[in-house]
Structure 1
Amino acid sequence: MGGLVVAALLLGIITGNDLVTELSLVLLGLLCTPAAVILLTELAYGIPVPTLRKRGEVLELSTPFGSRRVVALEIRDVRHGVMDLTPIRHYGVCKAFLEGLLVEPDASYTLVYEKLKSGFKAILLVVPKRDVSERRLVSIALNIIKQLRPLGIEARVMTTPPTIPFHAGASGYRLILLLILLLMGVLAIGRGAYSIGFLAVLYSSASLTASYIIRGYARRVDGEMYVLKGNESMYTEPSYEELYSRARWLFELVNSLSSFTMIMRFEKAPAYVGVTLERRAFSLYERATAFDKLSLMVRADRILKAVERHFHRRESLLLFSMLLIAPKREALALRSALDVAGLRMGRCLLRAPAVWSVLGLP
């Protein structure tokens, strides 16, 4: 749809047809409305970040559009570090750690790791995909604690809401910029620039409405913010020694940095994900054969090998997303280290969708 609108816009400009140009510009602007409104709202007021509140025996992840019961676990102590383990033992502990967390298939798990100069804070949020009872949430939390204890990881259910590491939102004076944009749109309509004026009025008024809705939830990010753009690690099969070497390197790097926040979300992938990857591999094979593209053939082979590990070796498929917030020096160092591990991090223009996704919200 977007391609057709752009083609019509170019056609109107080339032929000098003002009507076609105006209509195409309006249609293109309407297609970009959600992204434009989110971007203007973030710049003027801040990112709408969900807050945690006390609700009975559990917590409530509250948003401007609703709430959901969750449970939070505080990781209080980890007895065994990377340096205390052998490569094989390290692999076993990591696998047991993931299997111990993913006890509830109908939920996502968000680990908030905050590195401070005085130590670290680690909080695990269990976010169910549908509303469940408090008793069920507490049962899930106690089961996770039971599974982690043999691994030397001590955790407890948090009765007071932890703070998600974001800062207070921007001051309201930035909303004046949206009012100026609204005024400019009205003036543009008055001078005959109907398409540009209409879009300016639409974007500014929608952004002002969104800013009013998210009041009390607006937050800002201090430092650099990177999100996971691609995961190449699933297409590789490193040895125990390689995994252990990467873990030691990352462990030493993390200890050398002063402060950063890493938010990771993972959950068991639905059954259809494996089938979807298999179909994607076959599609790439067909395109590679038709166009004689070696790069597509190699890509398809890597995907198919990952799918075979899932179907034949019964390796679990996980949905994984990650968010990194840190000062510039720490962010660049962590980004380079994660890139070596196969996790490609990049900047994001729209921050709110990335934050909501990593917290397990739609």
Structure 2
Amino acid sequence: MGSYRLGILEGDGIGPEIVPAAARVVDAALAAAGAEPVDWVPLPVGASAIQEHGAALPESTVDALGGLDAWLLGPHDNAAYPEPHRSTLNPSGALRKRFDLFANIRPAKAFPGARALEAGTDLVIVRENTQGFYADRSTFAGSGEFMPTPDVAIAHAIFTRHGVERIAHEAFRLARRRRGRVTVVHKANVLRLTSGMFLDVCREVAARYPDVTVDDEHIDAMTVHLLRRAPEFDVIVTENMFGDILSDLTAEIAGSLGLAPSVNVSGTHGMAQATHGSAPDIAGQGVANPAAMMLSAGMLLDWLAARHDDEALGRAAALIESGVAGALREGVATPDLGGSAGTEAFAEAVEGAITGG
């Protein structure tokens, strides 16, 4: 298929450590799979971009991303940005909104050696990424939050049939590639119009996938079910805020946020992004866990492989996951997982597992 052009945006905190480690593993996997090497395109984002370009997400970066096949985004620490940058939509949210990255796919898989709370966990949260209760992403203009008086704050939530239909289709198509089960998570018993519509439309879409089993759970009950029996779930589809919260829970059940990958995708654009934050307390120490960023990059390759029918790229994606699993199985782990390996040592172990070295 030729070479792909992928953006590489290191971000803040541990980003400049884990993003290059992920790119290194991508290069090794592509070579081992017999795929063409990618053309990496570094682009500014985050605190360093504020210093050099006057914006955490420069318009030049956004314009460049529009011409690339996909990109890797490191974590951001927008809480530490100076005003007015701190009060604006963070780089991740701005990119999701700008490129209509409506599907946030967040797996939670218990790898041997990763100290999972529930061995056997292997599920995926399919999170609607542009609507729901995150008001700053659900409107064309404005934040969706306002204060009519100093003592009253109001936020609105938006649900559209189109938005729910397309995330439901993502979930059911994914379930067909996995174990064939979708669980719709909602709060339709209380939020009858908004969450109720989410549930109703998901059920309508389910009728087009008779080979997939579908059930539903209230969001509060789902937290309990996940703690007690996470391995029973396959694909979970839900709205924006519920998906954000549940994916942090499932990541810890599977072992650690340090192992929690994700991709944000539309029909035309894809962004790999680890679920965890920028961890400024350990930035620059060489001990950050790059596994989630590596796994996110692998997911992005898998998305590109499906989009372009590129078998070599698909093999590379599988090699990245097996490489991370192999390193953990051999007892190579960063301190957050109870090990002593640094970022560089873990990257070397994953690369060795991929190449057989």
Pick the TM interval, shorter chain. Answer: under 0.3
TM-score by length of 1: 0.26
| More helix as a share of residues | 1
* TM-score of the superposed pair, with normalisation by structure 2: 0.26
